[in-house]
Structure 1
Amino acid sequence: MDLRSRVMADAEALLADITRLIDQVRSDAKAISDGWQAFPVSAEFAPSVDNLAAYVALRHHDLRGIQRGLMSIGLSSLGRLESRVLPTLMAVRATLAATLGQERAPCADAAFFAGETRLRARADALFGPRSEAHPTARLITCPSEAADDPSFMRALAERRVDAIRINCAHDDAPAWEAMIAHARAAEAETGHRMRVFMDLAGPKIRTGGVALAEDIKRIRRDQRIAIVAPGGLKAPEPAGWAAAVECTHAGVVGMARPGERVFIDDGKIGAVVETATDGMLVARVTRCDPDGAKLKPEKGINFPDTELTIPALTARDRADLAFVATHADAVEYSFVQSTSDVAALQAALEDVRPAGREALGLVLKIETARAVRNLPGIVVAAGGRQPVAIMIARGDLAIEIGFARLAEIQEEILWIGEAAQVPVIWATQVMEHFVKKGMPNRAELTDAAMSVRAECVMLNKGPFLLDALEELDGLLARMSGHYRKKTPQLRRLASW
């Protein structure tokens, strides 16, 4: 078979495959979007919902064979269609049809790139206008000292930082008000606007009181620990367990079951529940440092295998919302796991800010495996009523799903954000070593370079924050010439 005959045969087979795929995606997308009918969706967000449904439907198919077939005859693959699912499939179909002498009309350019346009506009609205040279916004976490030191906000404004983050788990309303006042004063002095993002504390699942058995200083592998509800702390039983520790969230202890994992202190101690009775879990330690690990109060506890059906919005959050809703440009929602969590926050916002609530941005902090599973619906429920962004909260998420799987899941969250045409924030421990110690390491620079594919990157507080920010700015400026989302830009290279 000569080259022309082979290309024609391949094109004919691919045209049939693409046509079947388009029909299937349309049918499946309708079923998916029908499941979202209960959520109010604005006319502006409706096309994004349709594209997200089409993307979810498409990714239920294995496309590797079609991709290689398209590549072999010199056509674009389907690897960059997140923001324009059906327009891309239709454009590929039109090109295949033209190869065979048939007529198929592709989308016009405006329709083809409409998703990109929406995403860029939404990012600009949340973080401030972007430039082509600096498309990734910078979000900076404020230390407690920022309430007393106006120079911190002035330094951020001078460096054209796009947004500041105030963590409501720390300090109080007078301190937050002082931070915001300093930010506004810095804006007036520099002429540069900085958005204010306020992070609700959310439910805190942490260690409380600790009781160690006699002669126990550090917890070691194969020892047993008891996890109890607040107020249930008791001395370790002889020959029973090495330590007992309270879990500060009363309801969680009763939700865990034997065989489920528990991680304490960012995974420094890993254990598996062996028994769950009478408000007490007994777990065997399966992972810790060979020299043992200290069991301390006020450290995070993660139950990655347990379906934690606890409300994301706490009583403290509801109290803080009265301040947040009237002072912030966006609220960051911790521990959101379901569409009912979104509905609870939106109802609370209507109570404290009945006029203008729809203008307040909402950042969905994705911290658990359950949140990942429910992410498309969560985005629709939130974005249908107000500006929305997704934060990849990689600290808790890594403990919940495992560090190895995080590398995969953070990619999937980026794709879902682009398919929904909403901004994504790359967060947690970005350039952490530099921020705290004053020197970067190779791995964190590579990680920071990957953040160029998000609309915003967050830096946490630390003594060398401003130095790290300058390094990050240079890195993002260079990388933005190479990548825009998943698409290589192929700028001219001068390395050789």
Structure 2
Amino acid sequence: MSKRKTKIISTLGPSSEKLVDELLKYTDVIRLNFAHGDEEQHKKYFELVGDKAPVLVDLPGPKLRIGDLENEPIILKNGDQIKFGDKGVPVEDQLFFKLIKEGTDVLIADGRIRVKITKVDDGYAEGIVKEGGILTSRKGINIPDADIPLGITQRDLELLKEALILGATYIGLSFVVSEEDIRKVKEIVSGKAWVIAKIEKKAALKNLRNIVREADGIMVARGDLGVEVGLPNLPQTQRKIVNIARAYGKPVILATQVLESMVNSPLPTRAETIDVANSISQGVDAIMLSDETAMGKFPIEAAKTLNELIISVERTFKPKRTHIYKNVDEAIAYSAVISSILSSAFAIITYTRSGSSALRISRLRPVVPVITLTPSEDLIKKLRICYGVYPKKAEELKSLDEIVKKAREEAAYLGQKGFIVVVGGVCGDNGGTTRFLKVEELD
């Protein structure tokens, strides 16, 4: 059982595809960005992961992107001239040329590169680099205040079908602006995977509570979100998203530029380590590495560093408990956490078929691990993303006595003596409830 409660998601890419087993020493979930690669490569990556870890598939969404560069990377310096189109840097969607005009600021790669457009023609544009950087294929393009059509694209639907066939555990839905986007995908997914809503548009913030209610999980996608709300507003925006996701008991993932300096350096910056600590104190369920493990020079070092950072921070940083809802299920979950503190229990053990009991307890951020027993293999994979939850396979249990007996057996494997808190739903119901609690002593 991992010493970490905050989970780690690592993106698989060219830098790490031959290092999957090493990467998984420090990783709970593997992410595949379907904005890159083709069907053959996607299948290859799934085969590399196999059943060693659950997979999060990120759908590209309606995003403007740089096309495939013949010679990459391209080093852009301040003052350089740059051309877009057939005679220069390719752009995937011709809509780009309709959205820009002379004087438009174009932001590339989450705003790290900024270009001011000086000339626009049919399928062609020129600009001056105002903020330089390293340009690689398929990096995202942002045009502030541009009216880009949003919603689920046909390509998203095709990639979604592919992801489900390959066995994705989570689907990352990009540029969500309403709960209708999520409902549409959930109808197709039909419970086979959790739908993770990526919050990266201003419009999503206006409809945040409805989105959170409908989604199975939330991702704070700070790249495009930072461009949308402005960097001065990003910290409070992140905190707001995390707080609302936690209030509704939905797993929340922190993403983008977590240890960005480790793309090219074996060590993170001081600011990055503090960012990780602050995010843990806010109570995120998981932290995601993107370019650090997909394209960086030090993929294993990045995952190992994040693992060590989280372990160190969690020794002293304790996330605050979130809002408590007034109903019986939440009362039992809250009592379980309090009982674990007052009895100095070394674990909370829950039996669940739907995952609801584990999620209710996880959202309260208990100090002790939440060992979750379930007969569902799919649920075991899904719960791997949740804070402090350690799911394990158990047979179908038909009575409270059976649940308590199994909980004691699992606790005995930990080799500790003392109290455990056993919690779960009522046997024979339809799932989704948390209705019993028992404190047991192991001697």
Give the partner amino acid of 2:162.
F
| Aligned with residue 308 of structure 2, among 474, 479, 485 | 474
Deviation at 1:140, TM superposition (A): 0.8
Aligned counterparts of 1:207 and 1:473: Cα–Cα separation in 2: 32
Question: 1:483: which partner in 2?
Answer: 317
Instruction: Identify, as 1 or 2, the structure richer in helix.
Output: 1
Deviation per residue, 1:318-374 (Å, 9 max, x gap):
22222211311111112222233223323443xxxxxxx224111111222222222
Aligned counterparts of 2:134 and 2:28: Cα–Cα separation in 1: 39
Question: 1:328: which partner in 2?
Answer: 168
Q: Secondary structure at the match of 2:36?
A: coil
| Aligned with residue 343 of structure 1, among 167, 172, 183 | 183
Whether the 8 Å contact between 1:436 and 1:464 is mirrored in structure 2 is: yes
Give the partner amino acid of 1:342.
I
Distance change >3 Å, CA 261–CA 168, structure 1 → 2: same
The reply on whether 1:442 has 2:282 as its aligned counterpart is no
Provide the TM-score with structure 2 as the length reference. Answer: 0.59
Question: 2:130: which partner in 1?
Answer: 288
Instruction: Identify, as 1 or 2, the structure richer in strand.
Output: 2
Question: 2:61: which partner in 1?
Answer: 202
| Aligned with residue 142 of structure 1, among 12, 31, 35 | 12
Aligned counterparts of 1:258 and 1:324: Cα–Cα separation in 2: 40
Give the partner amino acid of 1:142.
L
Give the partner amino acid of 1:269.
R
Q: Percent identity?
A: 30
Aligned counterparts of 2:78 and 2:263: Cα–Cα separation in 1: 31
Question: 1:87: which partner in 2?
Answer: none
Give the partner amino acid of 1:304.
P
Give the partner amino acid of 1:445.
T
Distance change >3 Å, CA 347–CA 157, structure 1 → 2: same
Give the partner amino acid of 1:367.
E
What is the 5 A alignment of 1:399-410? 399-410=227-238
Aligned counterparts of 1:433 and 1:138: Cα–Cα separation in 2: 18
Question: 1:316: which partner in 2?
Answer: 155
Deviation at 1:456, TM superposition (A): 0.2
Question: 1:182: which partner in 2?
Answer: 48
Q: Secondary structure at the match of 1:155?
A: helix
The reply on whether 1:154 has 2:24 as its aligned counterpart is no
| Aligned with residue 145 of structure 2, among 305, 309, 312 | 305
Question: 1:374: which partner in 2?
Answer: 207
- Which segments of 5 or more consecutive residues in structure 1 lack a partner in the other structure? 1-129, 188-193, 211-216, 236-243, 350-356, 383-387, 492-496
Aligned counterparts of 1:372 and 1:469: Cα–Cα separation in 2: 30
Deviation at 1:467, TM superposition (A): 2.1
Q: CA RMSD in A?
A: 3.9
Q: Secondary structure at the match of 2:149?
A: coil
Aligned counterparts of 1:259 and 1:395: Cα–Cα separation in 2: 23
Deviation at 1:281, TM superposition (A): 11
- Which segments of 5 or more consecutive residues in structure 2 lack a partner in the other structure? 70-75, 323-364, 368-443
Q: Secondary structure at the match of 1:422?
A: coil
Q: Secondary structure at the match of 2:309?
A: helix
Deviation at 1:294, TM superposition (A): 9.6
Aligned counterparts of 2:199 and 2:170: Cα–Cα separation in 1: 16
| Aligned with residue 465 of structure 1, among 279, 283, 299 | 299
Aligned counterparts of 1:472 and 1:135: Cα–Cα separation in 2: 13
Whether the 8 Å contact between 2:200 and 2:221 is mirrored in structure 1 is: yes
Give the partner amino acid of 2:265.
K
| Aligned with residue 173 of structure 1, among 39, 47, 59 | 39
Question: 1:248: which partner in 2?
Answer: 92
The reply on whether 1:454 has 2:293 as its aligned counterpart is no
Distance change >3 Å, CA 272–CA 405, structure 1 → 2: farther
Aligned counterparts of 1:293 and 1:429: Cα–Cα separation in 2: 15
Deviation per residue, 1:260-316 (Å, 9 max, x gap):
75434543225489x99x97999997x824xx78999855321232343333x3232
Deviation at 1:391, TM superposition (A): 0.9
Please identify, of 366-375 and 249-258, the stretch whose mean Cα deviation from structure 2 is larger: 249-258
